[in-house]
Chain A
Amino acid sequence: MLEARGLGCARGGRALFENLSFAVKAGQLWLVRGANGSGKTSLLRILAGLLPAEEGELVWSGEREPPLWVGHRVAVSADLTARENLEFMAALEGDDAGAAAAALEAIGLGGFSETRAGRLSEGQVRRIALARLAFSARRLWLLDEPLTSLDETSTRWFEAQLLRQIERGGAVVMATHRELSDSLQGWTLRLGA
């Protein structure tokens, strides 16, 4: 689906990683691991097209498709309700409002759909952003520390979404410090080693 050839990235005059090559294929889960500041976020941003690759290149097999990106900043507006936020994200992907409402219900935010995101907890805000996973048809998911401040129930829901994405032939590249359940077998990319 996506192949990285000799990727390199330097931030603030310091080389984070060099000559990094890997190929993400359909049905694969890639876990990017490494210490804080080892370049996990930069790597994901390069894959998402937010940062240009200073060295090396990204080769897409077939047409370049937009990935689903959930970054450290989750694109949830504090002044909009949970439902309005998710409906906007759905609209950008061409999905209708019904998908958004069902996804909120599934991630356990049904009772908060009319609450402004600014009044929700950090974990709940992250759940709004992750609810996109329930309806997104994007084949490549790029997730930067998606498990931050998630409770156990939501983590299990999230893992179920990952499994569904992989089983239907999508791919996931995610940076995380946490261990996933044993049912999820992934390839590990260790940065800064």
Chain B
Amino acid sequence: MMGRIFAAVFRREVRLAWRRRGQLLQPLMFYALVMLLFPLGAGADLTLLGQAAPSLLWVAALLAVLLAQGPLFSADLEEGGIELWVTSGVSLSWLALAKLIAHAMIVSLPLILISPILAGWLGVSGEALGVLVISMALGMPVLCWVGALGAALTLGLPRGGILLALIVLPLYIPVLMFGAGAVHAAMEGRPAGGALVLLAGLLCLGASLAPLATAAALRISQE
């Protein structure tokens, strides 16, 4: 029963994301454009580019994720989907968990997949590319979940977007530091394992706390 409900929510989210794929394109375009334009602006200094690449990739990806958060619950609020969830008698945290996992996959996967291409454009190569992909696979879901919590908290507020960024950005900093740090370390030939393990820890923390917090925020949004 719980598994079937989880699958139903997950399927619904993936279907909706596909139907509204224009919305998904926006963060992806933002990410690609920043990475394509930066080298043109920075000039032909390859060492400078190489040094800045990890932080640049991570900052741009982080802001792209932030762009994808605003509309996360807004349609559900306007159409009454959240009322349906709250009154369904099914654990709201369970529904939120399904939605959050779908959301993290839908938003992160395209960004993670184009990252190696964009990183190659900045001169990142070899083992560092692998570390970049792993660090993003571990870190992006955390960014999505923290963002989703922010979106749930600011749901229905006028100009909630600014407030969302204010709530969420401080919580993004550890992910950014460990993510970019891991790639930096790999580029300089130092072991990146420590930073990746810390990212994995954040991922576990996010997966266990985000659904509970998001569910509480959604419940409050109805009052």
Contact = CB atoms under 8 A, between A and B. Distances in A.
B198 to A, nearest CB: 37
Interface residues of A, number: 31
9 contacts: A73-B83, A74-B79, A75-B84, A76-B80, A77-B12, A79-B20, A88-B8, A92-B90, A142-B87
Interface in B69-122: 75, 78-81, 83-90
A66 B87 contact: yes
Q: Which applies to chain A's interface (DSSP): helix, strand, loop or mixed?
A: loop
A91 B1 CA distance: 9
Given A51-B222, A92-B88, A75 B8 contact: no
Contact of A91 (B4, B75, B87): B4
Interface of B: 1, 4-5, 8-9, 12, 15-16, 19-20, 75, 78-81, 83-90, 222-223
A192 B75 CA distance: 33
Contact of A79 (B4, B16, B86): B16
A78 interface: yes
Given A51-B223, A67-B87, A75-B84, A91 B79 contact: no
A26 B134 CA distance: 57
Contacts of B89: 65-66
A80 interface: yes
A20 to B, nearest CB: 19
Interface string A89-102: 10111100000000
B1 A94 contact: yes
A71 B8 contact: no
A62 to B, nearest CB: 14
A67 to B, nearest CB: 6
Contacts of A77: 12, 16, 75, 79, 81
A133 B195 CA distance: 53
Contact of A75 (B9, B15, B80, B90): B80
A48 B87 CA distance: 6
Interface in A157-191: none
A89 B9 CA distance: 10
Contact of B12 (A48, A88, A142): A88
Given A51-B223, A88-B8, A71 B83 contact: yes
Interface string A49-80: 11110000000000001111101111111111
B8 A92 contact: yes
A142 B89 CA distance: 14
A71 B80 contact: yes
Contacts of A80: 12, 15-16, 19
